[in-house]
Amino acid sequence: MENITYNGRLNKVFQLLIELSRGNFSYRLERSDKRDELEALSAMVNIVAEEIKDSFLHQGYVNMHDSYMHMVQMIFFLDETFKITYINQDVTKLLHWENSELLDQPMVNLFEKKSILKWVDLTKSLGNDHDFESEMRLVFKTKTNLQLPAYCKMVDLPQVENSIVRYMLISSDIIKNTKLYERKLQSKILKQIRLTKLKHPVEEKSFLNISDLETFRAIGNFLKNNLDKNAPSLQELAHEFGTNEYKLKKGFKELFGMTVFQFLKNERLRNAHVLVKSSNEPFKRIARQNGFKNATHFSREFKARYGYTPRDLRANS
């Protein structure tokens, strides 16, 4: 029985590696409470997948005219009992379930354990506010037992006579678009690696272990999920995540290649770039959603980063 369980966990690792080789960096492995080599491998594969995705996202958003990635959406229409009444094609493509396997099924069946709790809390808050909209991060389960984290928006739809549709759930994520840019970027990265090795033949050994990597990854995710909040101090972050300020500064920079506050500013501008380009949200609201003091401050930082203003980007999108 133990061998069957071990082989099942190993197959999930192989499945994720296959998805990575196809250029799909959004899937993750479900973590367990086991403390063996396979669990350590699962943690490392998840971290690598996240790092690859972040790297390509950064490159994609800076080069929007020839981006390797593009935004896709899974769309679910639900009835008043939160059963699925309609899905778009991206649902079957990303989750690998057939249309017939999902229709009339409870939406909650598609979530992993922690997301189920979020979903239950959300559904309890629905019903009284007819203009209700909520955004959250949920983790979907695929048919192949991988996990797919995505940012979701739940909308309470206006009631139409004889319509069974009551709610709409939209999840946005990033997937592969073209192979051309991938080859160009790969060539550029490999060239840079060769140059770096020539300049620095002896590299300093990392002092981070798997536990440290997971801690700093969690801090990175915390910052990305709270872009609209005031930036916490390094001391507050270190205390919240059970590390010390010295290790946080040194380890975070080793993992992400930048300081905590450079990372936060980078994520705010990157998220704002997507919203400016792909939505009609007022700049003032985008600024507020991404932690900038006001629209003027946002526009100044945006231009300093990208070389053009938010207004220029939207006018040419």
CB-side neighbour CA atoms (13 Å) of 273: 23
Mean pLDDT of all residues in the chain? Answer: 77
Determine the Cα–Cα distance for residues 8 and 275; give it in Å rounded to an integer.
40
β-pairing verdict for 69-78 and 84-87 = antiparallel
Q: Tell me the pLDDT band of 189, cut-offs 50, 70 and 90.
A: low
- When mean pLDDT is compared over 55-69, 72-86, 287-301, the highest value belongs to 287-301
Give the residue with greater pLDDT, 67 vs 282. Answer: 282
Helix (H, G, I), strand (E, B) or coil at 152: strand
Determine the Cα–Cα distance for residues 316 and 306; give it in Å rounded to an integer.
14
Domains, in order of start, for the chain: 1-62 (1.10.8), 69-176 (3.30.450.20), 204-317 (1.10.10.60)
pLDDT at residue 168 above 90? Answer: no
Q: Tell me the pLDDT band of 21, cut-offs 50, 70 and 90.
A: low
Give the residue with greater pLDDT, 280 vs 183. Answer: 280
Of 58-62, 131-135, 228-232, where does mean pLDDT reach its minimum? 58-62
pLDDT at residue 64 above 50? Answer: no
Q: Tell me the pLDDT band of 62, cut-offs 50, 70 and 90.
A: very low
- Residue 19's pLDDT is 66
Q: Tell me the pLDDT band of 32, cut-offs 50, 70 and 90.
A: confident
pLDDT at residue 5 above 60? Answer: yes
DSSP annotation of 31: P
DSSP structure string for 49-81: HHHHHHHHHHHHHH-GGG-SEEEEEEEEEE-TT
Q: Tell me the pLDDT band of 187, cut-offs 50, 70 and 90.
A: low
Determine the Cα–Cα distance for residues 44 and 210; give it in Å rounded to an integer.
7
- Residue 24's pLDDT is 61
Write out the two tokens for 17: 């590696």
pLDDT at residue 66 above 50? Answer: no
Per the CB < 8 A criterion, the answer to whether 190 and 159 are in contact is: no
Q: How far is CA 76 from the centre of its chain?
A: 19
- Residue 197's pLDDT is 58
pLDDT digits (tens, 9 = 90+) for 116-153: 998 998 888 775 554 555 778 888 998 888 888 888 88
CA distances from 214 to 16, 40, 211 (A): 18, 11, 5
- Residue 257's pLDDT is 84
Determine the Cα–Cα distance for residues 99 and 101; give it in Å rounded to an integer.
5
